[in-house]
Structure 1
Amino acid sequence: MAVDYAVIVVYLAGMLGMGWWGMRRAKSKSEFLVAGRRLGPWMYSGTMAAIVLGGASTIGGVGLGYQYGLSGAWMVFTIGLGLLALSVFFSARIARLKVYTVSEMLDLRYGGKAGLISGIVMWAYTLMLAVTSTIAYATIFNVLFEVDRTWAIVLGGTIVVAYSTLGGMWSITLTDMVQFVVKTIGVLLLLLPIAIVKAGGFGEMKAKLPTEYFDPLGIGGETIFTYVLIYTFGMLIGQDIWQRVFTARSDRTARWGGTVAGTYCLIYALAGAVIGTAAKVLFPKLDNPENAFATMVKEELPVGVRGLVLAAALAAVMSTSSGALIASATVANNDIWARLRGAVAPRGDGEGGEGAGTDRDEVKGNRAFILIMGVAVIVIAIQLDTVLEGLTVAYDLLVGGLLVPILGGLLWKRGTVHGALAGVIVGGLVVIAMMWQYSVLANEPVYYGLLSSLAAYVIVSLTTRPTDAAVLANWRERLSGRGGEEAAGETGETGADGAAGEAGAAEPASVPS
């Protein structure tokens, strides 16, 4: 075990080192929040795959494989499908907008007023996503090293908060690349083949398990449909995902890099299900399916390899946790706090200024919000029990409240700001009410929430004044890649990739212009 501990300590120390290195590059708001919009295909693909494949995809995916067999791959598989759809159909347009948050996109499309409400819903989603990832530390440390659950959450959460606060998106990008490599080696190249061999191969697995474990639809059609609604559509609109799209240096990078990452997710989904199926053969009496991953690592892997695979699990958890954390902080600062402060404070207090001093203030403010959100995530994670429960709450709110207004804004020019607000509010409230009526893990909340959001959006949009022609003209300009950089007056270090205007982003109920 000493060797395994050493591997983990080296890995965690490396994450902190990457955070310190990233701090040297994060000198402006653009560098801190979206890595200067300068990531190339290789780094973009790795970081995008890292953010979407977290603790739920790794520990939860193996757990579903343990419980349902190969059909347990569907949860992660639908995540990959969503990422592919985002990359092929929407990523280029999203990247051209040169904004920082989804709510800024809504304000740009609808002409203001939608940002605060949508920001609150998006903040709740990103916060819960960070919480679910943080909970996963307890599963890893508790089963493998018998570390107390609370201390496991505090330890893992503190390291993520530290490197995220230091360097923002640059630190997270650098750590995600390391985590992507570690995860690939640990899960795909080591744990997967070892699990199959230890279980006696597929022939032995089929002989010892019920036939439904090898039925591609064994998990149930309704469950698969719900996964598509929650995860496939959730990938299209989440702030944590869009914030990675904003880091791409070109349309081509966003499209093809995301396609590579989505394909990787499909492979990862199948690998997790196979590992879980093998675990069912080896350990048929586990009380909690989510312990299947950690039990396999603890009982079946040799010293040294065990530490590397554990590092892979930590990599999966940390990549999603850090991405969700910076997304939550970005939304809280830019979409909620800046707007509320703007409503009660006079303009001209230095937020819209230019120059190095303003850059430092912007970075300092976002750093403070990451720290605050990080502490909140750790505290909430200690109170909750399961990963899938928190993840379901997060995605139900996201899809039920924001899917229709966001996709409607991208695809339907007749949608109005009042329709968008109605869709967000009605959809979100129905999701919450249905969770209370049925249960957190029930399928009904997202069904009713999505349908009510669609009805409210369409009806209110058709019965209110169409969006102003000037707003739509500006929207089309931004979608074509014109207007954002020139107005912002901010470029990356190479001068090729400007970010959205920092002054505009800080203004209440507006977008960079």
Structure 2
Amino acid sequence: MAVDYAVIVLYLAGMLAMGWWGMRRAKSKSDFLVAGRRLGPAMYSGTMAAIVLGGASTIGGVGLGYQYGLSGAWMVFTIGLGLLALSLFFSARIARLKVYTVSEMLDLRYGGVAGIISGVVMWAYTLMLAVTSTIAYATIFDVLFGLDRTVAIVLGGLIVVGYSTLGGMWSITLTDMVQFVVKTIGVLLLLLPVAVVKAGGFAAMKAQLPGDYFAPLGIGGGTVFTYVLIYSFGMLIGQDIWQRVFTARGDRVARLGGTVAGTYCLLYALAGAVIGTAAKVLYPHLGSPDDAFATIVKDALPVGVRGLVLAAALSAVMSTSSGALIACATVANNDIWARLRRGVGYRRTPDDGTGDGSATERAHDEVRGNRVFILLMGVAVIGLACALNDVVEALTLAYNVLVGGLLVPILGGLLWKRGTAAGALAAVAAGGLTVVGSMAALGVLANEPICYGLSASLLAYVVVSLAGEPTDAAVLAAWRARLAGTPEEAGTPERDAAEAGAAGSPGRTEAVAGSPSRTADTVPSSAAPIPPNRS
């Protein structure tokens, strides 16, 4: 195992080194939170695939394959479908908004009254997502080094908090690219073919397992439907996902790169299910389905390769954990803390996204503030992960409230001009309360609460919007201008930066890998019942 340990240690050291390198790139709020909105297709596709395919999609996806066969792919498959829908139908408009959070989008669309409520809901969701991802370190480091649970969580958590705090989204993007490559090699190119060969091939697998293991809906039609409601719809509105969309340098990158990442998710889903099915043939009596991944890696792979595949599992957890952490900190700082400060007389100055010239001091302050919030949220996440043994119910509650309360006002704002601020608030309240009440009555893991919540949210949104006055024409005009990518506030720092970037402003350079004067993959620009299996 010495070689495997060396591979893991080098991988972890590399993550911290990239965090340090990313710190040199994060000169402004835009750089720190959304990588300067400058990612090209390759980096955008890699980082988007990394954020949605976490430890749950890897370890949990293999576990579902072990338990249900090929239909165990549905959980990760619905994640891919949601990402495809987001990329094809919404990502271009989302990227053109030039905001940092989902709540800022709601403020723009409805006139600034829905943000604080949606911010609290989104913060709770991203916090619990980060906690569950951090808990996963205990399983992986126990397999690797036999570490105590608390020590494993603290070790893994500190590494993620370290590189995320240093360079923000630039560090996370760079580490995500490494994690994407490691997952592709470790899971798709190494573990998948080895598992199938060890199990005797598909013919032997079909001969030794029940027919349900190869039925498309062997996991159950109701479960698939719930996955669609929670995971596919969750992809459309999660802050962790939107924050990656904001990193795209243009409409085409958001659409094309997201489509590539979504397609990759579909392949990854099938691979995990096949690996789990092979594990069922090889080890039919494991204590838990989630043990299937670690067991087949330890027994079926040679030294060195085993370390790489375990690094793939670790990278999957880290990509989700870091993405959820920066999303949680962004919401806490920009949607909650900044609003509270404004409520006592604080006024936030618009960010120009450049971090140079007369804006340098303000840019440094904003980067410092967001860095502090990542550190604070990271400490809170590690503490909660150490204190909780099982947060499935807490994550389910957060996810159901997120989708049940926010899906309708967000998609309604994008698709229906008659939707109003009162309708949005009514939808959040009706959907959230219905979900919570239904889970209290039927159980947190029941399938019905999300259906009831979405129905109540949609009804409240439509009825209250139609019963009240339409949204102010000036608000809608500004919203349509922003969606079109032509903000009306010409002359603002953000607008000036956009125009300067389009004209080839000096100091904003397109990147080519390996070029010392050009940074990687950039060009000028303006400024989910839930098992513990959310990637």
Bin for the TM-score computed over the shorter chain: over 0.9
1:408 equivalent to 2:412? Answer: yes
Q: How many angstroms apart in 2 are the aligned matches of 1:484 and 1:71?
A: 49
Q: Give the match's secondary structure for 1:158.
A: helix
Measure, in 2, the Cα distance between the counterparts of 1:277 and 1:110. Answer: 48
Number of the residue aligned with 1:75:
75
Report if aligned partners of 1:133, 1:387 keep a CA contact under 8 Å in 2. Answer: no
Contact 1:134–1:157, Cα closer than 8 Å, also in 2: yes
Q: Partner of 1:253 in structure 2?
A: 253
Q: Which moved more, 1:425-434 or 1:73-82?
A: 425-434
CA, structure 1 residues 237+352, in 2 after alignment: closer, same or farther (shift >3 Å)? closer
Match in the other structure for 2:388: 384
Deviation at 1:83, TM superposition (A): 0.5
1:200 — aligned with what? Answer: 200
Work out which of the residue numbers 476, 480, 497 in structure 1 matches 2:525.
497
In structure 2, C-alpha distance between the alignment counterparts of 1:244 and 1:167, rounded to whole Å: 15
Alpha-carbon distance in 2 for matches of 1:435, 1:368: 35
Where do residues 51-450 of structure 1 align in structure 2 (5 Å cutoff)? 51-347=51-347, 355-386=359-390, 389=393, 391-450=395-454
Over 3 Å counting, the alpha-carbon distance change for 1:352 and 1:387 in structure 2 is: closer
The secondary structure found in structure 2 opposite 1:432 is: helix
- Looking at structure 2, the residues matched to 450 and 87 of structure 1 have their Cα atoms a distance apart, in angstroms, of 22
**What whole-Å deviation, never above 9, does each CA across 1:416-441 have from its counterpart, x for those lacking one?**
00111111122122222222222222
Equivalent residues of 2:426, 2:457 under 8 A apart: yes
Aligned-partner Cα distance in 1 for 2:60–2:490: 45
Alpha-carbon contact 1:103-1:335 (below 8 Å) kept:
yes
AA at the equivalent of 2:86? L
Letter in 2 for 1:137: Y
Q: Is the 8 A contact 1:91 1:251 kept in 2?
A: yes
Secondary structure (helix, strand or coil) at the match of 2:302 reads coil
In structure 1, what is the Cα distance between the partners aligned to 2:59 and 2:423?
39
> What corresponds to 2:31 in structure 1?
31
Asked if 1 retains the 8 angstrom alpha-carbon contact of 2:39 and 2:248, the reply is yes
SS in 1 for 2:27: coil
Shift of 1:488: 4.4
Alpha-carbon distance in structure 2 between the residues aligned to 1:61 and 1:326: 25
Partners in 2 of 1:14 and 1:29 — Cα distance? 25
Which of 455, 459, 480 is the equivalent residue of 1:476? 480
**Which residues of 2 match residues 452-463 of structure 1 at below 5 A?**
452-463=456-467
Name the counterpart of 2:512: none
Give the letter for the 1:494 counterpart: R
Rate the CA distance shift 1:190–1:91 in 2: closer, same or farther, 3 A.
same
Please identify, of 9-18 and 392-401, the stretch whose mean Cα deviation from structure 2 is larger. Answer: 392-401
Distance across 1 between alignment mates of 2:257 and 2:446:
34
- Structure 1 alignment gaps of length 5 or more: 500-513
- 1:293 and 1:225 mapped to 2: Cα distance? 26
Partner Cα separation in structure 2 for residue 388 and residue 142 of structure 1: 20
Mark the runs of 5 or more structure 2 residues left unpaired by the alignment.
353-357, 502-506, 510-523, 528-535
Q: Any idea what the Cα deviations from partners look like across 1:355-375, whole Å, max 9, x if unmatched?
A: 111101100000011011111
Q: Which moves more between the two structures, 69-78 or 448-457?
A: 448-457
Measured in 1, the distance between the counterparts of 2:490 and 2:323 equals 29
Q: Equivalent residue of 2:76, what SS?
A: helix
* Cα pair distance change 1:39/1:484, threshold 3 Å: farther
Cα deviation code 1:283-305 (max 9, x no counterpart): 11112211211111122211111
Q: Tell me the SS of whatever aligns to 1:216.
A: coil
Structure 1 contact 143–295 (Cα < 8 Å) conserved: no
Quick one: distance in 1 between partners of 2:33 and 2:54? 20
Q: State the one-letter code of the partner of 1:225.
A: F
2: CA distance, partners of 1:185 / 1:122? 33
Shift of 1:341: 1.3
Distance 1:390 1:183 in 2: 28
Following superposition of structure 1 onto structure 2, how do residues 41-60 of structure 1 map, counting pairs within 5 Å? 41-60=41-60
TM-score (norm 2): 0.90
Q: Offset at 1:209?
A: 1.1
Q: Per the alignment, in what secondary structure is the counterpart of residue 24 of structure 1?
A: helix
Aligned position for 2:519: none
Give 1:69 deviation, angstroms: 0.5
CA RMSD of aligned residues (A): 1.7
In structure 2, distance between residues paired with 1:385 and 1:438: 23
Q: In 1, Cα distance between the equivalents of 2:392 and 2:346?
A: 44
For residues 29-62 of structure 1, what are the alpha-carbon distances to aligned partners after superposition, in whole Å with 9 as ceiling and x for unaligned? Answer: 0000000000000000000000000011111111
Q: 2: CA distance between counterparts of 1:133 and 1:488?
A: 40
TM-score by length of structure 1 reads: 0.94
Letter in 1 for 2:359: G
Amino acid at match of 2:441: Q
Deviation at 1:146, TM superposition (A): 2.1
Bigger mean CA offset, 364-373 vs 138-147: 138-147
Tell me by how many angstroms 1:487 deviates. Answer: 5.3
Displacement, 1:216? 0.9
| Identity percentage of aligned residues | 78
Report the AA paired with residue 49 of structure 1. Answer: A
Preserved contact between residue 5 and residue 144 of structure 2 (Cα < 8 Å):
no
Alignment-mate amino acid for residue 204 of structure 2: E
Match of 2:110, as an amino acid? Y
Aligned-residue offset at 1:246: 0.5
User: How far apart, in 1, do the equivalents of 2:489 and 2:254 lie?
Assistant: 18
The code of the aligned residue for 2:271 comes to A
Give yes or no for contact 1:139–1:291 (8 Å, CA) kept in 2: no
Following superposition, the deviation at residue 384 of structure 1 comes to: 3.3
**Aligned 8 A contact 1:139 1:294 in 2:** no
State whether residues 333 and 369 of structure 1, in contact with CA within 8 Å, keep that contact through their aligned partners in structure 2: yes
Question: Partner of 2:521 in structure 1?
Answer: none
Letter in 1 for 2:288: N
- Please state how far the C-alpha of 1:129 moved relative to its aligned partner: 1.2
Measured after TM superposition, the shift of residue 252 of structure 1 is: 0.3
1:457 and 1:392 map into 2 onto residues whose CA distance is 24
Shift of 1:332: 0.5
Deviation at 1:9, TM superposition (A): 0.3
User: Paired residue for 1:510?
Assistant: none
Partner Cα distance (1:386, 1:146) in 2: 20
State the 1:345 CA deviation: 3.0
Contact 1:134–1:378 (CA<8 Å) still a contact in 2? yes
Distance 1:232 1:156, change over 3 A: same
